[in-house]
Amino acid sequence: MAKKILLILALILLTATTNVEAAEEKNNLPFDVLAEAYSADENEAIAFIKTKPSGEYAFLAAAKGLEPVGIVPYSREMYNFYLGKNEQGNYSPVIFAMLIPQAERGQLDEELGDWDETLHIIPVYAIFDVKDGQVICEKPFYSASGLKATHYQAKIQNPAHERLVEIFLTNLPRLHEVIDSNNISLP
């Protein structure tokens, strides 16, 4: 059920297709889901996907009742962001781009990052800690105008964007477990 919710959300938002079940049966999704993990209450999900036809890998974050989905391009560094501490024994802030497909202008955070038609690309600067294997986010999350920022001083204000960042960061350890237990090889 939870997987179906993730696929339905992603399909609707990424392709604007109305016949979800037919598209799923015909494998018309714009990506393949290689692994997925859910929060304890199954209201939040993160998936490791391979896009079609480009073959690029990414993470997709979604939640029940949350209209946008967030996509974070895959990198080994991003996948392992919470596994190592810096020389001072702390976790370094993580910086990444979150893509919001089918975004509408005129919303909070519109001035952050950059736009490619209806794709809103938001740079994210997040401070976190890890306790008992769980990522604990320190809010607020920060961002900047443009994509090549040297300072991240603007707060991410849109509650949906904030939640997607938190879903991605806090659920990635669960996704790690699923990928490891299924022996999925990563690029």
One-letter identity of residue 128: F
CA distance 97 to 53: 21
pLDDT at res. 82 = 96
pLDDT average, residue stretch 75-84: 95
Output 40 or 124, whichever has higher pLDDT. Answer: 124
Distance CA 21, CA 52 (A): 19
The answer to whether residue 186 sits within a structural domain is: no
Residue 81: inside a domain, yes or no? yes
* Mean pLDDT of the 101-120 span: 93
- Model confidence band, residue 27 (pLDDT cutoffs 50, 70, 90): low
Task: Please state, as a whole number, how many other Cβ atoms lie within 10 Å of the Cβ of residue 41.
Answer: 8
Residue 73 in domain:
yes
Q: Is residue 135 part of a domain?
A: yes
* Residue numbers of the domain that contains 89: 2-181
The tokens of 68 are what? 């946008």
C-beta of residue 99 within 8 angstroms of C-beta of residue 143: no
Number of structural domains, the chain?
Answer: 1
Distance CA 11, CA 33 (A): 12
**pTM exceeds 0.75:** yes
